[in-house]
Structure 1
Amino acid sequence: MSGLLEVIALHPADAERAEAGGADRVEVCGSLDDGGMAPTPQLVDQIRRATSIQVRPMVRLREGFGTDGGEAVRLRGLMSSYADAGADGMVLGFLNGLGDVDSGVIIELIGDGNWPWTFHRAIDACLEQEKAWAALATLPRLDQVLTAGSARDVEHGLTDLLDRAKGDPWAASVIMAGGGLHPDHVPWLARSGVRAFHIGKPARPGGSYKAYVDEALVRSWRTLIDDELRHRVRAATA
């Protein structure tokens, strides 16, 4: 049983090394300001040419998790350019002024596409989590939710992540744990049914984004995730 491992890529070299280490997908960011901003279509094209694994660019142009009608036009244009550059899917997520999932804006943005997409960590900023997850379940082609279970990090949100995965099979199927993820979290998450994991700093020497992704570090995460998921399967069938 193999889980999904996604690695943040800022350069083509990151994507090459992530693939060599066994990653399944890269999340492409133009910068990591405020948790990640949209890359240029040219960068997506370069990364697509550098790797054969899945590529999902971040679709976000401003601080926070809101947008408006004028920016939505730019975002749709970006997503079209990303798709033309070979992106397999997108990473996006917007909230309204009440701190709820902005389903109307999201449906408007994704309506022209046919690709799967990830709702990013905007979910962790929602004021009413039950309402937010219910809204996510209605959105078309959503196949991943990147969440730490907390607006801070996985360390602070781990209990909530475990409870949600154990109590909601659909949530367990779409949760991609990330945001301060540590190796010690993986066994707990795997036992709760989580199969997808996202890393940024842990894929780099010294945990620094000034360094390229390191193949050996990615490989260590690949091995850990697969070992824990195999252990879960053996325990379930014993």
Structure 2
Amino acid sequence: MVIPPSRTRQTLLEICVDDAEGVAAVAAAGGDRIELCGALALGGLTPSAALVARAVGSGVPVHAMVRPRDGDFRYDASDIALATDEIGRLVAQGVAGVVVGAMADEHRLDLDILARWRDVAKDVAIILHRAIDLVDDPVAAVEAVAALGYDHILTSGGAPTAEEGATVIAEMVRAADGRLAIIAGSGVSADNVGRLIAATGVNAVHASASARSPWGDSRIEAMGFAGGPRRRTDPARISALRQAIERN
């Protein structure tokens, strides 16, 4: 059974979704914010205009992914122009924030592009996504991102999961010193969220709260489409996360 959300809370729960069903699940089960993406199976791309409209209409604050293609985060001029246009369109649609990331090479953020996108998104929050987990020193990168005027950083502390990266996340929280919010994400569940909050001091966590769909169609893969069972947002998992956070 899904427990109705409490509105008195300290740690914000953000749920990433990529379809209308997920949007409805977050609204019903107590998520505080939606990170809206297209194609989470590819790591999240810019969502469609119709999905953005559905999410904004849900009443839950929406942070929309801006990622014009899959693959790495080293963007050429056409990628940058497209992402810049996407930011403007998302802001016009009423999102509360946009989620971006760009790398100069395999180990450094592209601060020039990130600064440009901060200017374009001046009327909404701007979030650096887990591209920061690819840099050599995520803690040192916090200072540069804060100086650009970013509002949030989503991170697993440079590790595959936030629980594994908890020590680094705690250092990032200290480096941020209240200038921006550090959001712990990757592998966050009801089983570990309490320990994660206690270990890191974050005031926001990010999770998919999803379960693998029991069905798939082998013909889809055989025809060259992305196939296999999808993951679907699970309201019960959102509710369990909400309860675990409130027990912390």
TM > 0.5: yes
Matches within 5 A, 1:65-214: 65-97=73-105, 99-113=107-121, 114-140=123-149, 142-165=150-173, 167-168=174-175, 170=177, 174-191=181-198, 192-200=200-208, 203-206=209-212, 210-214=230-234
Measure the CA separation in 2 of the matches of 1:199 and 1:60. Answer: 19
Measure the CA separation in 1 of the matches of 2:94 and 2:54. Answer: 10
Measure the CA separation in 2 of the matches of 1:128 and 1:102. Answer: 14
Could you tell me which runs of 5 or more consecutive residues in structure 2 were left unpaired when the two chains were aligned. Answer: 1-8, 215-228
My pick for the range that moved more, 69-78 or 152-161, is 152-161
CA displacement at 1:178 relative to structure 2: 0.7
Conservation of the 8 A alpha-carbon contact between 1:145 and 1:174: yes
Measure the CA separation in 2 of the matches of 1:186 and 1:207. Answer: 24
Measure the CA separation in 1 of the matches of 2:130 and 2:136. Answer: 13
Conservation of the 8 A alpha-carbon contact between 1:177 and 1:196: yes
Conservation of the 8 A alpha-carbon contact between 1:41 and 1:78: no
Which is bigger in relative contact order (C-alpha 8 A, separation at least 6)? 1
My pick for the range that moved more, 177-186 or 17-26, is 177-186
Task: Describe the shift of the 1:168–1:135 C-alpha distance in structure 2 as closer, same or farther (beyond 3 A).
Answer: closer
Conservation of the 8 A alpha-carbon contact between 1:24 and 1:53: yes
Matched, 1:16 2:24: yes
CA displacement at 1:189 relative to structure 2: 3.1
Give the aligned partner of residue 57 of structure 1.
Answer: 64
Give the aligned partner of residue 236 of structure 2.
Answer: 216
Amino-acid identity (%): 27
Structure with more of its chain in helix, by fraction: 1
The residue type equivalent to 2:14 in the other structure is E
Give CA-to-partner distance per residue, 1:153-177, whole Å, 9 cap, x none. Answer: 2232122223443x43526961111
TM-score, normalised to structure 1, is: 0.84
Measure the CA separation in 1 of the matches of 2:178 and 2:161. Answer: 18
TM-score, normalised to structure 2, is: 0.81
Measure the CA separation in 1 of the matches of 2:45 and 2:53. Answer: 16
Across the aligned residues of Structure 1 and Structure 2, the Cα RMSD in angstroms comes to 2.3
